[in-house]
Structure formats: structure tokens, C-alpha cells
């Protein structure tokens, strides 16, 4: 049974599910046959996601040319009156995300050819990348909440596997566990949020479109909507690394750099923001308190994460905190209500490209100098020109320098925040913008300028690494224009909430303020870091620096306050459970098995053997009787023959 | 013209003599001769019925039986000679190889 709704000719959008299916199949094929292939399975992943990319572009084209959303479902199973569907809901937002996910995944997979070359678990790495991509694509196309949850959880597992890819070092496996458990903490409210919505619809549906319609019509009470919105946002806090569950994301840097790029740009963290965008009707029609809560979290997160990014020495950690901060930007955009919907998702779109670029660029640097620390880099612009220029483009895009991608999306959020009267959010966003420009300037200067401070002779990375960098740099420079108001802001036509696209506010005054802010940060960064100093100039901040260096002691608080007490109690309890219950169960099964064997032994000897031997004996004895007939005497045989004939004759004549 | 029932009685006596010979005589040559008696009893029957029903098919069959009997006796005597050469006897109850 396939139900399709939608206006006009649907075309490629009907086949969006294939985009998600391809990497999923690739996962199985790589696991099954990857090692036997000449490319060790990498080619399967790249072909699958490449084909998915082409299809995604075709799907996006459908919306660019003014097509309407489509939805198709098949029935999955039924519990009582509750019917669960498996299906796809494709609208402009889905199409944009499909393109983002597949293009970043494609770049990451090509990049990994060079970066992971010679890795002992190369094939496994590619299978996980494929599964990760498939899970994210499933989240993107999911038409109902339970399907979305499946992709959501599979991603959690894949991030665990990939962050801990080099598990031989304990730090890496610890980070993987931390990422998994921290995001799981957010998943619990998310799951309850889904339940709350299903209950609120009277167990009628879990379809996102139908729930949104009910929320708009007011069929769901405000109380339920508010509860569900807060719980769902709990999931976003975990997955999209918002305060106070942002701690896993910087540690996720322990994974290979392509994984960081994939997690931070296209999948995982984007899933949280995307989910809020998907369920936006629930947030908008809930009590205003829900969105206020969201913006409070977002405002806090963007500022504290940006401050942390200032003091990191590990280049990937700078980018990690930057991601946390930029995700908070997106969430803040969404928290502005209907008007901010497009702005927040636009930032998600542009951020994916330039953050992927920055991560892959940092990977290229790390590949060359064999260190994550910026104190051991420096002067690399002469050794690695391609990496340098692409990294600069990415940094400028992140810092919000026009006309690169980040400028358009950030400016939109900042302007909206002020115009809608959210002055606190506006202030936080402006401050974050300044700090962002500052720390990116710092990162570029420490990495690429001055004298080389590391070991060995760094050299430019191979083409499989620089190729994706250039492609992403072009995207990071260009994608912002689809949201440029001067060009009619086509992005708002593809992705909008409510009846018609909101005209995007743009004023040259606000743009000027943003640019001045970015330049201010840039200048401050240049002033402090133009010359390499052994001692970080920010140490002059004194106690504040110590606070930042220790990440506000949040990790310690979590460790001492939550993890340790629970850990010991849980392990003691688990031990007791193991000894009493599990052992008890095992032992009783053993006794049961022993009793059964005795019974079976008896049956075997008496009944089964008896039957077999009995048959043999009967056969033998009857054979012994019959052998007397077969004497070998021909005349006796002839006598039997005549007797037989006589008997037959008698029988045939009488009857 | 002899009536058919007399002929049938004669051939039945002849056939029974043959059966007795086959079952009771020890000498293989006599056994073969007894088989000939049985065959000829059948031949008598065939010819008698052919005559009685004015149908020549019975006589044709009798000729066939004579031809087959000649071949049978030829092979049978050859077997008897071979048995004699091998075992120095032609008593059938002493040649009891036809068993397991």
C-alpha cells in the first residue's frame, strides 16, 4: 500500500529513499566483501554516496524549480489501532539536507582515501562511514518519529565506533564512550518527547506531517506541546552538543579527522538542529516558555563555547568548540520563532560546508606535521599552499567576512534577533561573532604564519586530500548567495515554515555592524598573535584563563559529581546482580539440563535402543525361518511353482 | 471323429505324468523328457481345439511349440552334459547350487 500526496509532478523526489538505501547497502557489501576488493571497500562507499549525491541534486532541482513537497509511505506494522509507517517525507528542507549530507560525505570519503591510507582497519572505517551516512540520510527523509529515532540511534552507535577508531589508545576509547553516553543522556528525553507526542495525538499517529497539522489546528493541548517540545529539545541538546551536554564534542576529536568533519558538519550534530526544524510546529505552538528556554540554552552555549575556543592549543579542539558555538547560533535562529526558522536552517546549510572544509584542512595539516598542537606548527603557508588558501577561505567564511557563506547566514540571525526584540540573544550573537573572528585569526596565524616550530619537513598533502578541500572551498565561498536577499533569497523559497516564505530582513546598517564586529575580532587576533610567543598572551587574563583552560571545570563536576558515584554504585550493583541472579539462572539451567539428561539417557537406552534392537531381532529370526524354503533343490522349487499355479487356477476359476 | 472331452482327458493324463516326472525323477535326462511330455500334452490340446473350432491358428501354435521344445531340449541336454563333466552325476537333487 503506497499513499502519495503532493502537488504536481513529483519525479525524483519519489525516489529519495534510494539515496538513503545506497550507503546502507554499501555498508553490508563493504563488511561482506570489502577486503577482497582492490580499493579495500572504499570504492563501494564512494560510488554509493556519489550516486546519492547526483540524486539529491536532482531532488533539490525539483524544489528549486518550484515543486511541492511529497510524502509516500508503506505500512510497517500495526499494534492495536496504532499503525506504524515506514516512509519518506520530502520537502525543501529535506532536499537541502540531502545535498548537504551527501556532498560532505562524498568529500570526506574521497579525502579518507589519502588520510586513512594504510590504516589497519581501513575497510571497517569505510563501512562505518557508509552506515553513518545512511543513518543520517534516514533521519533526513524520515516521515515519522520512530523512523527518525532509528537513524538517530544508529548514528549514536556509529559515532562511538568512529571516534574510538584508534582504540588502542585508552584516551580514544574513553572519548568514544563519553560521546556515546553523553548523547544517550539526551536521547532519553527525546524518546519520552516522542511518546508524549504520540500520547497527545491519542495514539493516532507518529507521522511528523500529521502531528504538525494537529499542532497547527490546536488539536493538541498547549500543555502536551510544551512538554513534548522541551523533551525533544533535550535530544537536540545531546546530539547537537548544547550546554550542558556539549562536553562530548571536543573529546570526539580523538577520532580520525575525516570523522570529525563528518560528525561536525553533515551528520550527528546537524541531526539535532534538523530535528528541531522538522518538529518546528510543536515548538512554535507550544507555550512561549519553550522557545525562551531554547534561546537561553543557545545563547549560553554559543558564548561559553566561543570563549573556550580562544584558549585551545589543539587545532581540532578550536574547531570543535567553534562547532558547538555555531550550532548554538542555529538553535538561536530557530528559537526566534517562525521568522528565524529559515535563518537557523540557512546557517546549518552554510556551516556544513565551511566547517567540513576547516576540519579537512586541519586534517591535512595534522597529516603533514604529525601533531594536533598549534604550538608545533607555524609557517605552513609556504609548505602547504593549497591547504593554506582553502583554510583561509573556510576561516573567513566562519568569521563572517562578506561575501563568503558564513556572512549571509550569521548576519540574518543577528539582524532578526535585534528586529524581533530579542536583545539578549542579539548581544550574545554579536559577542560570539567577534570572538569567532578572533579565534579563527589566532588559529590561522599560529598554524600558517611565522616560523615552523615542529619536527621534520612538512609537505603538501596528496590530491585525494586537496581535491575535496578545493571543492569545499568553492562551496564555502559560494553557497551563501542562495540566501542573499539581494538575489531574492531563493533559499527561503525552498525552506520555509508556514504558508509563504518570509521576506528576509536585510539592512546595510546591521550588515555593517556585523562586518565591523568581525573585523574587530580579526584585528585583535592579529594584534596578539602576529608574532609567535611561547606564552599565550591570553594568560594575562589571570583566573579567567584558568577557568577557560579547565573548561569551566564542567568535566570535573560531571566526573566527580555524576560519573564516579554512579559508576561505583552501578558496578557494585552489577556485580551483585551478576553473582546472585545471573549465576543463579545459569546454575539452575545447569541443574535442569542435568535432570533432563538423566531422563533422556533412560529413554535412549530403553525405548530407542529397544525399538532398534527389536526390529533387528525380528528381521533376523524371520529370515532364519525363511531360509529353509530356499534349499537349492530345483525340484522343490518346481513343486512350489506347480502349487502356486494350482492355487492361482483355483482362485481364478472359483472367484 | 474323436470327441474333444476324450482328447482333453488324454492330454490331462499326459501332462500329469510329465509333472510327476519333473518333480519326482532324480535323473536330469528323465526330467527333460518329462518336460517334453508336458509340452506335448499342451500340443495335443491345441490341435484338438483347432480341429474342434475349425481354426488353423491352434495348429500354427503347436508347430511353434514343437520348434521351441526342440531348442529347449538341445540346450537342456548340453547343460546336463556339462553338469556331468563337472560333477560326475546327473542327479538333480545332488546339484543344489541354486540357493544363497
Buried residues in A290-304 as b, exposed as e (16+ CB within 10 A): bbebbbbbbbbbbbb
Closest residue, chain B, to A637 (C-alpha):
B23
Q: Answer whether B19 sits within 8 Å of A627, measured CB to CB.
A: no
Say if the Cβ atoms of A632 and B99 lie within 8 Å: yes
Closest by Cβ to B99, choosing from A630, A635, A642? A630
Which of B23, B99, B100 faces A635 most closely, judged by CB atoms? Answer: B23
Q: Which three cell numbers stand for residue A38?
A: 582492490
pLDDT at A415: 83
Among candidates A631, A635, A639 on the partner chain, residue whose Cβ is nearest the Cβ of B99: A631
**Which of A 610-629 lie inside 8 A of B, CB atoms?**
627
Cβ burial, residue A206 (10 Å; 0-12/13-18/19+): buried
User: Over 60: is that where the pLDDT of A9 sits?
Assistant: no
| Residue A85 and residue A75 in contact, taking contact as beta carbons nearer than 8 Å | yes
pLDDT range class, residue A1, cuts 50, 70, 90: very low
Q: Considering chain A, what percentage of its residues have pLDDT values greater than 90?
A: 2
CB contact under 8 A, B98 and A634: yes
Q: Residue A624's pLDDT is what? A: 84
Q: List the strands of the sheet with A70-79, edge to edge.
A: A3-6, A70-79, A82-90
Does the pLDDT at position A368 exceed 90? Answer: no
CB contact under 8 A, B92 and A634: yes
For residue B98, the chain A residue with the least C-alpha distance is A632
- Secondary structure element (H or E) that encloses residue A74, with its range: strand A70-79
Q: Is the CB of A632 less than 8 angstroms away from the CB of B97?
A: yes
Q: What is the pLDDT of residue A497?
A: 63
Q: A with B: how many residue pairs have Cβ under 8 Å apart? A: 28
Full-model pTM: 0.70
Does A254 have pLDDT greater than 60?
Answer: yes
The pLDDT assigned to A648 comes to 94
Q: How far is A655 from chain B (nearest CA, A)?
A: 23
Our CA dihedral for A521, A524, A529, A530, rounded to 10 degrees, sits at 100
Q: What is the rounded distance in angstroms from the CA atom of residue A613 to the CA atom of residue A616?
A: 5
Q: Which position has the higher pLDDT, A498 or A587?
A: A587
CB A315 within 8 A of CB A362: yes
Separation of alpha carbons A475 and A388, rounded Å: 16
Closest residue of chain A to B15, computed from CA coordinates = A642
Residues of chain B with pLDDT under 50: none
Contact A102, A56 (CB under 8 A): yes
**Distance in Å, alpha carbon of A648 to nearest chain B alpha carbon:** 17
Instruction: Say which residue, A530 or A437, is predicted with more confidence.
Output: A437
Q: How far apart are the C-alpha atoms of A11 and A403, rounded to whole Å?
A: 34
Q: Strands of A436-560 (E only): list them.
A: none
CB contact at 8 A, A202 and A250: no
- pLDDT of B29 reads 92
**Residue A637 with chain B: CB contacts under 8 Å:** 98
- pLDDT tens for A258-272 read 888 888 777 788 888
The verdict on A653 touching B (C-beta cutoff 8 Å) is no
Task: Test A638 with B97 for CB contact under 8 angstroms.
Answer: no
∠ CA A435-A529-A353, nearest 5°, is 50
Average pLDDT over residues A14-34: 84
| CA atoms of A65 and A62, how far apart (whole Å) | 5
Chain A residues lying within 8 Å of B24, measured CB to CB? 635
Q: Which domains does chain B have, with CATH numbers?
A: 4-87 (1.10.287.3510)
Chain A CB contacts of B97 below 8 Å: 632
Q: A621-649: per-residue pLDDT in tens?
A: 888 888 877 777 888 888 889 999 999 99
* Residue A108 confidence (pLDDT): 87
How far apart (Å, rounded) are the C-alpha atoms in residues A375 and A503? 46
Residue with cell string 560519573: A563
Cβ-nearest to A639 among B23, B31, B96: B23
For B96, name the nearest residue in chain A, comparing CA atoms only. Answer: A632
Q: Which residues of A touch B31 (CB under 8 A)?
A: 635
pLDDT tens string A593-625: 999 999 888 888 888 888 888 899 999 888 888
DSSP A365-406: HHHHHS--BGGG---HHHH-HHHHHHHHHHHHHHHT-TTSHH
Q: Confirm or reject contact between B90 and chain A (CB < 8 A).
A: no
The answer to whether A637 contacts chain B (CB < 8 Å) is: yes
A255 in Cβ contact with A160 (< 8 Å): no
C-beta atoms of A632 and B96 within 8 A: yes
Contacts of A631 in chain B (CB under 8 A): 96, 99
- Cell numbers describing residue B14: 499326459
* Contact of A401 with A483, CB cutoff 8 Å: no
Put simply, whether B30 touches A (Cβ < 8 Å) is no
Cβ separation B23–A638 shorter than 8 A: yes
B4 touching chain A per CB within 8 A: no
Nearest-Cα residue of chain A relative to residue B20: A639
If you average pLDDT over residues A131-138, what whole number do you get?
Answer: 90
**Chain A contacts of B22, Cβ < 8 Å?**
635, 638
d(CA A147, CA A205) in angstroms, rounded, equals: 13
Instruction: Say what the alpha-carbon torsion angle A45, A50, A51, A52 is, to the nearest 10 degrees.
Output: 90
- Report the chain A residue with the minimal C-alpha distance to residue B16: A642
Helix (H), strand (E) at residue A625? helix A609-626
The residue that leads in pLDDT, A119 or A299, is A299
pLDDT digits (tens, 9 = 90+) for A454-503: 777 777 778 888 888 888 888 888 887 877 776 666 777 777 665 555 55
Q: Is B24 touching A (CB cutoff 8 A)?
A: yes
B93 contacts in chain A (CB < 8 Å): 633, 635
| B12 in reach of chain A (CB within 8 A) | no
Helices and strands: H and E segment counts in chain A: 28, 3
Q: Is A639 on the interface with B (CB under 8 A)?
A: yes
Asked if A61 contacts A90 with a C-beta cutoff of 8 angstroms, the reply is no
Q: Over chain A, what is the mean pLDDT?
A: 82
| pLDDT, position B66 | 94
Residue A542 predicted with pLDDT over 70: no
Query: What are the tens digits of pLDDT across the range A379-421?
Result: 777 788 888 888 888 888 888 887 788 888 888 888 888 887 7
Evaluate the omega torsion of the peptide bond into residue A276 and state whether it is cis, within 30 degrees of 0.
Answer: no
DSSP class of residue A4 equals E
Task: Kindly write down the DSSP assignment for every residue of A117-132, as one continuous string.
Answer: TT-TTHHHHHHHHHHH
Place of cell 609537505: A459
Residue A290 contacts residue A229 (beta carbons within 8 Å): yes
A25 CB neighbour count, 10 Å cutoff: 14
Asked if the model's pLDDT at residue A376 lies above 90, the reply is: no
Q: Which of A64-73, A510-519, A533-542, B65-74 has the highest mean pLDDT?
A: B65-74
Radius of gyration of chain B (CA): 17
Nearest residue on chain A to B35, alpha-carbon basis? A638
Least CB–CB distance from B22: residue in A627, A630, A638: A638
**Cα B28 from Cα B82, distance rounded (Å):** 12
**A209 neighbors A217 (Cβ within 8 angstroms):** no
Amino acid at each position: 500500500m503506497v499513499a502519495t500526496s503532493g502537488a504536481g509532478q513529483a519525479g525524483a523526489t519519489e525516489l529519495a529513499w534510494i539515496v538513503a538505501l545506497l550507503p546502507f547497502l554499501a555498508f553490508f557489501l563493504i563488511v561482506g566483501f570489502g577486503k577482497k576488493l582492490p580499493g579495500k571497500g572504499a570504492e563501494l562507499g564512494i560510488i554509493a554516496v556519489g550516486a546519492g549525491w547526483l540524486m539529491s541534486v536532482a531532488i533539490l532541482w525539483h524544489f528549486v524549480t518550484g515543486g511541492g513537497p511529497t510524502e509516500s509511505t508503506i505500512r510497517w506494522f500495526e499494534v492495536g489501532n496504532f499503525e506504524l509507517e515506514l516512509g519518506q517525507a520530502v520537502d525543501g528542507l529535506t532536499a537541502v539536507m540531502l545535498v548537504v549530507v551527501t556532498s560532505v560525505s562524498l568529500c570526506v570519503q574521497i579525502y579518507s582515501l589519502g588520510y586513512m591510507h594504510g590504516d589497519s582497519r581501513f575497510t571497517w572505517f569505510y563501512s562505518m562511514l557508509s552506515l553513518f551516512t545512511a543513518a543520517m540520510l534516514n533521519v533526513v527523509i524520515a516521515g515519522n518519529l520512530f523512523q527518525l529515532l532509528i537513524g538517530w540511534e544508529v548514528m549514536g552507535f556509529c559515532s562511538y565506533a568512529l571516534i574510538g577508531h584508534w582504540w588502542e589508545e585508552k584516551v580514544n576509547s574513553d572519548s568514544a564512550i563519553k560521546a556515546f553516553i553523553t548523547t544517550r543522556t539526551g536521547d532519553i528525553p527525546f524518546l519520552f518527547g516522542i511518546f508524549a507526542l504520540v500520547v497527545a495525538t491519542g495514539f493516532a499517529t507518529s507521522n511528523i506531517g500529521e502531528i504538525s497539522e494537529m499542532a497547527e489546528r490546536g488539536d493538541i493541548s498547549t500543555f502536551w506541546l510544551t512538554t513534548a517540545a522541551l523533551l525533544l529539545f533535550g535530544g537536540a541538546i545531546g546530539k547537537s552538543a548544547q550546554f550542558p551536554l556539549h562536553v562530548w564534542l571536543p573529546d570526539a576529536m580523538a577520532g580520525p579527522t575525516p570523522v570529525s568533519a563528518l560528525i561536525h558538519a553533515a551528520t550527528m550534530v546537524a541531526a539535532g538542529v534538523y530535528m528541531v526544524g522538522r518538529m518546528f510546529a510543536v515548538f512554535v505552538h507550544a507555550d512561549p516558555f519553550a522557545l525562551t528556554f531554547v534561546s537561553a540554552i543557545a545563547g549560553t552555549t554559543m558564548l561559553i563555547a566561543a570563549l573556550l575556543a580562544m584558549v585551545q592549543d589543539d587545532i581540532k579542539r578550536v574547531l570543535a568548540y567553534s562547532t558547538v558555538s555555531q550550532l548554538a547560533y542555529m538553535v538561536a535562529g530557530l528559537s526566534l520563532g517562525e521568522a528565524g526558522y529559515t535563518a537557523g536552517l540557512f546557517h546549518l546549510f552554510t556551516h556544513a560546508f565551511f566547517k567540513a572544509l576547516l576540519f579537512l584542512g586541519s586534517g591535512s595539516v595534522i597529516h603533514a606535521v604529525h601533531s594536533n598542537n598549534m604550538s608545533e606548527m607555524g609557517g605552513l603557508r609556504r609548505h602547504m599552499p593549497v591547504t593554506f588558501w582553502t583554510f583561509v577561505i573556510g576561516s573567513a567564511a566562519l568569521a563572517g567576512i562578506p561575501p563568503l557563506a558564513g556572512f549571509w547566514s550569521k548576519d540574518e540571525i543577528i539582524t532578526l534577533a535585534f528586529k524581533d526584540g530579542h536583545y539578549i540573544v542579539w548581544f550574545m550573537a554579536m559577542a560570539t561573532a567577534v570572538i569567532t573572528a578572533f579565534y579563527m585569526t589566532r588559529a590561522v596565524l599560529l598554524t600558517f604564519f611565522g616560523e615552523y616550530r615542529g619536527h621534520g619537513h612538512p609537505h603538501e598533502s596528496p590530491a585525494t586530500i586537496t581535491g575535496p578541500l578545493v571543492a569545499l572551498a568553492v562551496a564555502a565561498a559560494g553557497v551563501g548567495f542562495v540566501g542573499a536577499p539581494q538575489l531574492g533569497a531563493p533559499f527561503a523559497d525552498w525552506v520555509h515554515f508556514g504558508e509563504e516564505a518570509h521576506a528576509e530582513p536585510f539592512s546595510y546598517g546591521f550588515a555593517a555592524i556585523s562586518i565591523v564586529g568581525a573585523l574587530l575580532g580579526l584585528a585583535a587576533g592579529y594584534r596578539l598573535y602576529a608574532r609567535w610567543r611561547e606564552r599565550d598572551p591570553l594568560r594575562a587574563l589571570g583566573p579567567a584563563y584558568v577557568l577557560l583552560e579547565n573548561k569551566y571545570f564542567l568535566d570535573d563536576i560531571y566526573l566527580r559529581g555524576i560519573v564516579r558515584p554512579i559508576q561505583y554504585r552501578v558496578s557494585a550493583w552489577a556485580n551483585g546482580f551478576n553473582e546472585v541472579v545471573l549465576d543463579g539462572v545459569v546454575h539452575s539451567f545447569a541443574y535442569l539440563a542435568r535432570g533432563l539428561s538423566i531422563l533422556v539417557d533412560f529413554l535412549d537406552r530403553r525405548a530407542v535402543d529397544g525399538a532398534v534392537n527389536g526390529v533387528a531381532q525380528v528381521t533376523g529370526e524371520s529370515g532364519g525361518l525363511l531360509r529353509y524354503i530356499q534349499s537349492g533343490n530345483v525340484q522343490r522349487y518346481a513343486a512350489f511353482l506347480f502349487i502356486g499355479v494350482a492355487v492361482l487356477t483355483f482362485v481364478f476359476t472359483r472367484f | 471323429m474323436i470327441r474333444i472331452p476324450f482328447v482333453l482327458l488324454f492330454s490331462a493324463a499326459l501332462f500329469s505324468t510329465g509333472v510327476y516326472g519333473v518333480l519326482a525323477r532324480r535323473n536330469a535326462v528323465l526330467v527333460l523328457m518329462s518336460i517334453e511330455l508336458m509340452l506335448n500334452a499342451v500340443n495335443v490340446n491345441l490341435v484338438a481345439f483347432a480341429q474342434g473350432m475349425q481354426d488353423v491358428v491352434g495348429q500354427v501354435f503347436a508347430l511353434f511349440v514343437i520348434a521351441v521344445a526342440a531348442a529347449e531340449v538341445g540346450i537342456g541336454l548340453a547343460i546336463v552334459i556339462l553338469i556331468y563333466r563337472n560333477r560326475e552325476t546327473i542327479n538333480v537333487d545332488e546339484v543344489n547350487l541354486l540357493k544363497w
